[in-house]
């Protein structure tokens, strides 16, 4: 076991001595006054002026940043607006989701990624992330790592925040961080050092607080001047009046009353004296100057920290401005998350894997940030539109986006996919029986009694060919000749009456005549429908029976999931467009999709849709 410990290597392939391993389990930079790292700092902000502030900043640039780190902490405490916007930015990135992606090229890499995910469940990193973002204000942050060094499980058990005043920036290179008070270099693998520059240059000058320092000083002066203004002019002017008979003693009493009434709100004066309160409207209006100055300083701080002011102020009609500001905040969030991810991967994740599994060619990638996702509304509509066309999507992916879990076998469920239609065996359609000569003669009579388009007559031919062909086939030759020779229906009736048929033969002929009368009646109805005063085509296609519906494919319906509004041919397409708004049981989304499917089928069939109106009163565009 000792040999294994002595041969422990870090992510750079360097051996880690046993003495250093024991130090990884202990705190090496705890606070303590005797250690030169007092837990409580002094106060430099009170009585600060531009000269003293400049001296503190120059000292920090020369390699003595102790006073500056104390003052930077106080500025965050004493400048409420700066603390608000800075904390917002820090909380925003500290609460981002964390994902771990295994490296590629070796099956063992999956095990490494799982090891990191198990460590994340301990919450060690999540608890420290907010303190880690302290580098935003001060340029860098330092956390001391306390390692768990059990065999086969090297990982941080705690990351402790250490104030920047415990450390110093090397005056030799301006980058190396030393530990106070001896200014020694930090032990390897013991500290999580995160640098978060908001500008290029010296690390101690790269934090946001460096720029905010003078804005804070001006805001402090403004608040002080405003307070004095309110004290002097916020209250009415007190005027004491005394008569010519007043003595010096009386004058002194009146003066004490006038000068102390603001604080005591009470005074005693002789009856012979008067006391007035005079209000000056022009002087009280001057308070707006201080308010505008304070608002301007706050807006400058918001621009510096958040990239704009929309996140802290309400803007009338600012929807577009707010959207643009949110995009700017997203860019800042992505930048902050990327810097944090790089630091964590280099200083924690790679060390964990190297200590536990040995140095690797590739390591897991830990990432902070929101994954790029399609808006939920667009996702649901796309699946609803493309699903009936054959798009297949994992149900687990949709549930994850909706934050839903799969129901158990005993759970009560809401919703669910409509049952798929039962596939029926293919039965060959019976051969179509062609109309007899007598039936053809009847159609010629029909053509003489109606101006209906040929396709309507053809549709009736298809329908009546099966219903009446057999009966017409049994007509006698005499009746056949009478039908063929008749010039109109009245002539046919006279010819049939003149035949003087037998009762049973006459009954059969009458049945055939009734079939023709039905045919003629439908023709007359077509003429009436065609003459409709509104000019609309009111004829409807015959409804499909169950067998005909089952024979259709899903794409032959405008609403395939419920087999509603068939669109197999031009007639059904027109009927479907007229009935889509009145069909019951459809959701608004189903109606919108149905209209799109109807228009698409109409375009394929070459139907003119220029006169079709949409629910909004517009014209459909196929």
3-state secondary structure labels for all residues of 145-200: EEEEEECCEEEEEEEEEECHHHEEECCCCCCCEEECCCCEECCCCCEEEEECCCCC
Mean local confidence (pLDDT), 50-67:
94
Lowest mean pLDDT among 152-166, 357-371, 517-531: 517-531
* Strand pairing category for 564-566 and 167-169: unpaired
How many Å apart are CA 120 and CA 99, to the nearest integer? 10
d(CA 141, CA 94): 14
Q: Which of 258-272, 300-314, 448-462, 608-622 has the lowest mean pLDDT?
A: 448-462
Q: What b/e string do you get for 114-137 counting C-beta neighbours within 10 Å, with b at 16 or more?
A: ebbeebeeeebbeebbebbbbbbb
**pLDDT, greater one: 131 or 7:** 131
Question: Considering Cα of 400, then 401, then 404, then 409, what sign does the dihedral take?
Answer: negative
Per-residue exposure over 496-524, b if at least 16 CB sit within 10 Å of its own CB, e if not? beeeebeeeebebbeebbebbeebbebbe
DSSP state of 612: P
Which pLDDT does position 536 carry in this prediction? 45
pLDDT tops 80 at residue 460: no
Higher local confidence (pLDDT), 326 or 452: 326
Distance between CA 372 and CA 369 in Å, rounded?
A: 9
Query: What residues have CB less than 8 Å from 205, skipping those under 6 apart?
Result: 60, 61, 139, 199
Beta partners for residue 160, in sequence order: 144
The CB density around residue 54, as the number of other CB atoms within 10 Å, is 12
Q: What is the pLDDT of residue 471?
A: 45
More confident residue, 571 or 280: 571
The confidence score (pLDDT) of residue 428 equals 56
Q: Residue range 383-399: average pLDDT? A: 84
The highest-confidence range among 10-14, 159-163, 311-315, by mean pLDDT, is: 159-163
DSSP state of 580: T
Taking 50 as the threshold, does the pLDDT of residue 530 lie above it?
no
Q: Which residue has the higher pLDDT, 421 or 565?
A: 565
Cα–Cα distances in angstroms (integers) from residue 39 to residues 66, 179, 454, in the given order: 13, 15, 99
Closest among 183, 219, 184, 145 to 65, alpha carbons compared: 183
State whether residue 240 is helix, strand or coil: strand
Residue with the bigger pLDDT between 235 and 556: it is 556
Calpha distance 605→590 (Å, rounded)? 22
Tens digit of each residue's pLDDT (9 = 90 or more) over 201-239 = 899 999 999 999 999 999 998 887 767 666 666 656 666
Among 41, 50, 93, smallest CA distance to 72 is for 41
Q: 31-45, 347-361, 433-447, 549-563 — which is least confidently predicted?
A: 433-447
Could you count the other beta carbons within 10 Å of the beta carbon of residue 180?
A: 15
CB count within 10 Å of CB 323 equals 11
> Residue 189 — left, alpha, or beta (φ > 0 → left; ψ -120 to 50 → alpha)?
left
Q: For residue 501, give the nearest of 524, 481, 529, 530 by alpha carbon.
A: 481
Residue 334: what are its φ and ψ, rounded to 5°?
-65, -40
Q: Is 268 helix (H, G, I), strand (E, B) or coil?
A: coil
Q: Which of 174-188, 224-238, 484-498 has the highest mean pLDDT?
A: 174-188
Q: How high does pLDDT run on average in the chain?
A: 79
Nearest to 279 by CA among 234, 323, 341, 315: 234
Position with higher pLDDT, 619 vs 207: 207
SS3 string, 364-391, reads: CEEEECCCCCCCHHHHHHHHHHHHHHCC
Q: Is 486 left (phi over 0), alpha (psi -120 to 50) or beta?
A: beta
Give residue 611's pLDDT band: very low, low, confident or very high (50, 70, 90): confident
The percentage of the chain sitting over the pLDDT mark of 90, rounded to a whole number, equals 37
Residue 237 DSSP code: E
The listed range with the strongest mean pLDDT (189-203, 407-421, 553-567) is 189-203
φ and ψ at 318, to 5 degrees? -100, 35
Contact criterion met (CB below 8 Å) for 166 and 29 = yes
For 527-550, the DSSP string reads HHHHT-TT------PPPP-HHHHH
Q: In this predicted model, what pLDDT tens digit does every residue of 234-278 receive, in sequence order?
A: 656 666 777 777 788 888 887 787 777 655 444 555 656 665 655
As a whole number of angstroms, the distance between CA 525 and CA 95 comes to: 73
CA distances to 221, 228, 233, 236, 237 from 286, in Å: 16, 12, 9, 14, 15
With a threshold of 0.85, does the pTM exceed it? no
Residue 358 has pLDDT above 50, yes or no: yes
pLDDT of residue 318: 52
What confidence category does residue 146 fall into, taking pLDDT thresholds of 50, 70 and 90? very high
Whole-number Cα distances in Å, 382 to 132, 267, 405, 593 = 41, 79, 21, 11
In angstroms, rounded to a whole number, what is the distance separating the alpha carbons of residues 324 and 344? Answer: 31
* 229 or 381, which is more confident: 381
How much is the pLDDT for 484?
Answer: 72
Category of 36 on φ-ψ map: left (φ > 0), alpha (ψ -120 to 50) or beta: left
Helix, strand or coil, per DSSP, at residue 95: coil
For residue 298, the model assigns a pLDDT of 92
State how far the Cα of 552 lies from the Cα of 401, in Å rounded to an integer: 35
Q: What is the mean pLDDT of residues 305-330?
A: 64
The whole-angstrom distance between residue 278's C-alpha and the CA centroid of its chain comes to 58
Residues 6 or more apart whose CB falls under 8 angstroms from that of 494 comprise none
pLDDT at residue 338 is higher than 60 = yes
The per-residue DSSP string of 96-144 comes to S-EEEE--SS-THHHHHHHHHHHHHTTTHHHHHHHHHTTHHHHSEEEEE
Concatenated DSSP letters of 414-481: ---PPPPPPP----PPPPPPPPPHHHHHHHHHHHHH----HHHHHHHHHHHHHHHHHHHHT--HHHHH
Residue 571 confidence (pLDDT): 87
559 bridge partner residues: 564
The pLDDT, as a whole number, for residue 486 is 75
How many whole angstroms from its chain centre is CA 193? 34
Per-residue pLDDT at 422: 55
| Whether residue 115 has pLDDT greater than 70 | yes
């Amino acid at each position: 076991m000792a040999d294994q410990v002595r041969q422990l290597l870090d992510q750079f392939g360097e051996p880690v001595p046993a003495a250093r391993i024991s130090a990884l389990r202990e705190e090496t930079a705890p606070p303590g006054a005797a250690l030169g790292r007092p837990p409580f700092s002094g106060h430099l902000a009170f009585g600060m002026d531009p000269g003293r502030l400049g001296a503190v900043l120059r000292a920090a640039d020369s390699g003595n940043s102790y006073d500056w780190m104390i003052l930077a902490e106080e500025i965050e405490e004493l400048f409420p607006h700066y603390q608000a916007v800075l904390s917002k930015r820090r909380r925003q990135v500290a609460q981002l989701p964390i994902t771990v992606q295994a490296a590629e090229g070796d099956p063992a890499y999956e095990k490494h990624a799982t090891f990191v995910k198990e460590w994340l469940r301990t919450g060690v990193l999540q608890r420290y992330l907010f303190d880690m973002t302290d580098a935003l204000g001060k340029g860098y942050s330092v956390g001391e790592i306390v390692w768990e060094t059990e065999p086969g499980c090297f990982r941080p058990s705690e990351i402790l925040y250490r104030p920047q005043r415990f450390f110093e920036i090397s005056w030799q290179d301006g980058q190396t961080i030393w530990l106070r008070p001896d200014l020694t270099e930090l032990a390897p693998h013991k500290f999580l050092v995160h640098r978060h520059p908001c500008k290029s240059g010296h690390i101690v000058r790269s934090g946001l607080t460096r720029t905010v320092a003078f804005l804070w000083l001006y805001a402090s002066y403004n608040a002080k001047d405003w307070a004095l203004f309110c004290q002097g002019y916020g209250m009415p002017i007190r005027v004491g009046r005394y008569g010519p008979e007043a003595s010096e003693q009386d004058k002194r009493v009146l003066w004490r009353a006038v000068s102390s009434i603001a604080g005591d709100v009470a005074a005693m004066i002789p009856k012979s004296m008067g006391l007035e309160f005079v209000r000056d409207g022009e002087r009280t209006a001057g308070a707006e100057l201080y308010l505008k100055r304070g608002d301007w300083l706050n807006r400058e701080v918001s621009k510096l920290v958040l990239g704009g002011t929309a996140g802290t102020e309400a803007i009338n009609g600012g929807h577009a401005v707010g959207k643009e500001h949110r995009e700017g905040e997203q860019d800042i969030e992505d930048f902050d998350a990327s810097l944090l991810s790089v630091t964590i991967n280099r200083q924690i994740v790679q060390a964990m894997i190297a200590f536990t599994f040995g140095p690797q060619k590739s390591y897991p990638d830990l990432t902070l940030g929101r994954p790029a996702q399609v808006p939920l509304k667009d996702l649901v509509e796309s699946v609803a539109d493309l699903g009936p066309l054959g798009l297949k999507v994992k149900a687990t992916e949709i549930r994850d986006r909706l934050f839903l879990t799969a129901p158990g076998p005993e759970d009560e469920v809401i919703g669910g996919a409509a049952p798929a239609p039962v596939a029926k065996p293919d039965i060959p359609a019976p051969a179509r029986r062609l109309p007899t000569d007598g039936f053809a003669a009847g159609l010629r009579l029909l053509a003489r009694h109606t101006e209906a388009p040929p396709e309507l007559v053809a549709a009736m031919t298809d329908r009546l060919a099966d219903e009446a062909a057999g009966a017409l086939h049994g007509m006698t030759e005499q009746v056949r000749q009478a039908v063929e020779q008749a010039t109109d229906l009245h002539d046919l009736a006279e010819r049939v009456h003149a035949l003087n048929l037998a009762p049973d033969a006459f009954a059969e002929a009458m049945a055939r005549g009734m079939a023709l009368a039905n045919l003629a009646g439908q023709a007359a109805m077509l003429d009436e429908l065609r003459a409709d005063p509104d000019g609309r085509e009111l004829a409807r296609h015959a409804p499909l029976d169950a067998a005909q519906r089952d024979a259709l494919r899903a794409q032959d319906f405008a609403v395939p999931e419920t087999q509603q509004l068939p669109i197999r041919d031009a007639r059904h397409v027109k009927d479907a467009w007229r009935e889509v708004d009145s069909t019951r049981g459809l959701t608004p989304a189903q109606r919108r999709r149905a209209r799109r499917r109807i228009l698409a089928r109409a375009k394929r069939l070459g139907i003119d849709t220029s006169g079709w109106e949409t629910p909004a009163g517009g014209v459909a565009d196929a």
